A = this chain, B = another copy of it.
């Protein structure tokens, strides 16, 4: 199965993560599994990529974290919630996506030209 390279996905991790936070807060491990499921295993985000994206996006004010310390076995879990700025960032990125898609597709050759 073909996989998606980091350079191709670069710039879209924000969209992907923010999408999964649009309705409810969530946390790293859960988001990681959702990306995998929703993409039908076509994109499996690396842990370090995901957690560093959290840090970056919190610094940028797109998300806010809070900790749930009441898990079984004294475990902790860090949740993230999307902010208003995050929603605007998401929307802007989606518009950029539409534009980018239109541009890129002009440089995709017809099947016949590659024989």
Interface of A is mostly: helix
- The answer to the question of A43 belonging to the interface, with a C-beta cut-off of 8 Å to chain B, is yes
- The answer to the question of A46 belonging to the interface, with a C-beta cut-off of 8 Å to chain B, is no
Chain B CB within 10 Å, residue with most, of A94, A104, A107 = A107
Give the size range of A's interface with the partner: 35 or more
Of the residues B4, B38, B104, B109, contact of A12 by C-beta under 8 Å: B104
Smallest Cβ-Cβ distance to A14: which chain B residue: B7
- The answer to the question of A71 belonging to the interface, with a C-beta cut-off of 8 Å to chain B, is no
- The answer to the question of A72 belonging to the interface, with a C-beta cut-off of 8 Å to chain B, is no
Complex: A115 Cα to B81 Cα, angstroms:
17
- Contacts known (A91-B114, A113-B22, A114-B91); A4 close to B107, Cβ less than 8 A: no
Residues A108 and B2 in contact, CB atoms below 8 Å apart: no
- The answer to the question of A15 belonging to the interface, with a C-beta cut-off of 8 Å to chain B, is yes
For A68-109 the 0/1 string (1 means CB < 8 A from B) is 000000000000000000010011001111011111101111
